[in-house]
Amino acid sequence: MGTEQAAGVEISEPLLHDARAERKITVGGSDEQEEEEIIPEWKEQITIRGLVVSALLGALFCMITHKLNLTVGIIPSLNVAAGLLGFFFVKSWTGFLSKLGFHVKPFTRQENTVIQTCVVACYGLAFSGGFGSYLLSMDEKTYKLIGEDYPGNRAEDVKNPGLLWMMGFIFVVSFLGLFSLVPLRKVMVLDYKLTYPSGTATAMLINSFHTNTGAELARKQVSCLGKYLSISFIWSCFKWFFSGIGDSCGFDNFPSLGLTLFNNTFYFDFSATYVGCGLICPHIVNCSVLLGAIISWGFLCPFISQRAGDWYPADLGSNDFKGLYGYKVFVAISLILGDGIYNLIKIIAITIKEMYRSSTKHYNTAVIKEVAGVQLNLIDLSADSEGSKLLVEQRKRDAVFLKDGIPFWFAASGYVALAAISTATMPMIFPPLKWYLVLCSYILAPALAFCNSYGAGLTDWSLASTYGKIGLFIIASLVGSNGGVLAGLAACGVMMSIVSTAADLMQDFKTGYLTLSSAKSMFVSQLVGTAMGCVIAPLTFWMYWTAFDIGTPDSPYKAPYAVIYREMAILGVEGFSELPKHCLAICCGFFGAALAINLLRDVTPKKVSQFIPIPMAMAVPFYIGAYFAIDMFVGTIVLFVWERINRKDAEDYAGAVASGLICGDGIWTIPSAILSIFRINPPICMYFKPSSS
């Protein structure tokens, strides 16, 4: 959050003269002399080449997001990679055409921002669309995995994935979030001066690309990304030849730490994707994941396994929820809920506190002036030229941001119309979810979207999944045993989509503000990107669904959150009576531990809190296993050593290396899926077993 400084000089000249004067803005270069930049009109910022690049990158990032969603459920931010690859593709295209003698339109930072916004909106639906969580929770495989005789798990609450109904569902729920907070863009970005750290970092990156020194660094980063993308792709192809038939062959099952630890899922599986995630994610996240793996698979699971026959029947299958499997899933749920509820309460408290402080603050030294019909908050000019430059720069950003307004009537009527369509359509897709429940969700959603967007602006943490889980529990309990599971999962999707897209839009408004991009072009690119995502995200998921064994615990694509979300819905309907022996007590202990750890992180000094683990990250290995935690920890060790050897190089290139590793492995998914569809199996099964056997 910014604070307003004293303004000692009144500015009386108009900022906006005519259409051409509006578009000519002087901005500072990196360290060179200032250049005059022509700000394109909002329509010129959205180009055909930009939309083509956005669609290609959106498809690639959707595949990557699906793969991470269906394997470990941890998805790092790919915003930087979207901006970098967008810059690379358009620059390469314009350079190629220029060499052929064609006149090409210059590539501006505004167009770069539009591409990044469009890509993020597209691949964001691969997450908020629930393809690895609430939608997949509805399928027959998850229903059977939990158990056909499990209390509250009814065959009537099954809806198998279908391409057409999933596209229809995504279309009717994904656009409402974009209209819910548009009228508050000035309040969030200019009045409250929310930082939106990821949006600000992306804007700084894009701005740097379009300076001489920044363009040179960007070229080196792209070269680095391309090199590691090629290495990752070739390595994934090489691994395929040894992966055999089934799920026990190849490098993915390499007992690198010995067979005893391998049996407890502790091994390095040579995954470029997870190592790349370790390079991108903060050190504390990677260490938290490893700590969760050690607690769960090193202590808790062996401890509970020794009680087989006492706490639960010893003859149960490995995936029976009345046995060890149930303990693992419900402990993961308790950690996730404890972390989510704590942060939800914390961010709501911060939001109320900051809004109260903003409303009661007296701007005694601020001068607010109407300039060309636009109200600007002016900062102290100071006597020095640096202060003057800062003021002029802010005035220009404010003017560009407010120039192309989005009328309130348009946003309000759009929200009402889309809510009406969705209210009528959702009961057709999910009959247990009655129209009045959908309508109530849409009445409450803008308030929740505001809380989430404000919290994301303060902390860079979107709690969309937490709001979705709250909607899940409320609707599931209201509907009850006659369809409550299906209704709760569908309501989770409604709430999660709205609050997620609203926060993404506000973050993109912040990026657009800092790159002198039109707010209208940001809004339109979000609409276009969302429309792309409504088609691309289901199509890319369908590729996985038809080519691979999705949702099986022994499969690489075990879809961990599908089981977790369905169990949450069943809990909302049935309560806790059917949990295994002592499971509720253990879950309460971990729930309380999550609250206590978060509180400890907030009350201790930063030099201490930076070493306290994050419960949400600790939860994932409880259900999935420890192997991906080893991979991510390898990534964090590489980054740690790199930072000690050459911190500047690590800061400049770690993101590019990580993006290359993730993208290369993600691209291999396409030929791998094609081979699987045509039933072409790997020729070799590399398998390990004790020599005594």
- pLDDT confidence of residue 167: 95
pTM of the full predicted structure? 0.75
Q: Chain-wide mean pLDDT for the chain?
A: 82
Tokens of 362: 């007296």
- pLDDT confidence of residue 452: 79
Residue 310 exposed, middle or buried by CB count within 10 Å (0-12, 13-18, 19+): exposed
Angle at 61 between CA 642 and CA 638, to 5 degrees: 15
Q: Confidence band (pLDDT; 50, 70, 90) for 386?
A: low
Which amino acid is it at 215? Answer: A
d(Cα 577, Cα 156) in Å, to the nearest integer? 22
List the single range of 266-275, 295-304, 495-504, 616-625 with lowest mean pLDDT.
616-625
List the single range of 31-45, 351-365, 458-472 with lowest mean pLDDT.
351-365
- pLDDT confidence of residue 369: 40
For residue 61, the Cα-to-chain-centroid distance in whole angstroms is: 11
CB 621 within 8 A of CB 629: yes
- Tell me what the mean pLDDT of segment 141-161 comes to: 89
Q: Confidence band (pLDDT; 50, 70, 90) for 484?
A: very high
Tokens of 618: 């600790």
- pLDDT confidence of residue 416: 95
- Tell me what the mean pLDDT of segment 229-252 comes to: 86
- Tell me what the mean pLDDT of segment 193-204 comes to: 77
| DSSP tag of 183 | G
- pLDDT confidence of residue 459: 57
Tokens of 210: 């379009």
d(Cα 172, Cα 125) in Å, to the nearest integer? 13
Long-range CB contact pairs, 29-36, < 8 A, 24+? 29/211, 29/212, 30/208, 30/211, 30/212, 30/213, 30/214, 31/213, 32/211, 32/212
- Tell me what the mean pLDDT of segment 214-234 comes to: 84
Q: Confidence band (pLDDT; 50, 70, 90) for 679?
A: confident
Task: Say yes or no to pLDDT of 584 above 60.
Answer: yes
- pLDDT confidence of residue 358: 67
- pLDDT confidence of residue 246: 65
For residue 271, the SS3 value is coil
- pLDDT confidence of residue 381: 39
Task: Say yes or no to pLDDT of 571 above 90.
Answer: no
Task: Say yes or no to pLDDT of 471 above 80.
Answer: yes
